Structures are given as C-alpha cells and as structure tokens.
Amino acid sequence: MSGKKYHLTQLHAENKFWVTELLFFKDEITYFETQLARIITNNTAQEVMVKVEHFQNQFIRQREVIDEVKHNIKASENELQAFATSHNEIAIGHALFADHVELREEMDTFKKLYSELKDEFRHFLAKWM
C-alpha cells in the first residue's frame, strides 16, 4: 500500500477526472455499437455474426464495469464530503488522506482491459468495414 498522503482537494479532483473519463468511455461504446450496426447491415456471414455478438456482450459488460467503478468513486466522494462537512475550513486545508490505492488500481485495470478491447475491435473493423 502506498504511503503517500493527499489533500482532500487532490483526491476530489482525481475522482472528478475519473468520472469524466468513464463518461467518455461510455459515449465511445455507443459509437462502437453504431459501427457494429453498420457491419451487420453489410455482412451476415456466420463468422461476422459471432464476432458481432462477442463485441455486443463485451460492450454490455464494459458498461456494467463503468457503473461499478462510478459507484466506488461516489463512495469515495461521500467519505470526503463527510469529512468536509464535519470539519472547519482550516482542518480541511491541512488534513492529509491516504491514497485511494484500490480505486486507482480499479481504474488502471479497467483502462488496460478497455484499451485491449478497443484494439481488438479496431482490428475487427479494419477487416469487415
């Protein structure tokens, strides 16, 4: 576990950034689904349909993971908010918090797996579009 300490505002800013990233990824999935629909229109071969179903399932799962991670970020924000509302401004400015290592690892893992899925999808698009 990291021994680094952060101010409340630093953790809050990182949480906000992560939520913004997750919303972007969700929008990107919607775009990918549009591209899948185009492929289905032009290609009905069994090989294509199997991959389309694979990607549809993966996109559904990625949306679920995004929602789970956003929930965990919200829980972190609730903890920060509880501290902020129960302390005065001076205490808030001087308080240091342990790094939210678990959230960071969760985001890093999600981004790595999502990037791999995007690469796989790009290869599929290059072959069938």
- pLDDT tens across 103-128, in order? 999 999 999 999 999 999 999 999 99
Burial of 20 (0-12, 13-18, 19+ CB in 10 A): exposed
8-state DSSP, 26: H
Q: 26-42: per-residue pLDDT in tens?
A: 999 999 999 999 999 98
pLDDT of the residue at 1: 45
Query: What domain range includes position 97?
Result: 5-128
C-alpha 7/C-alpha 5 separation (Å) is: 7
pTM above 0.75, yes or no: yes
Domains in the chain: how many in total? Answer: 1
C-alpha 36/C-alpha 98 separation (Å) is: 43
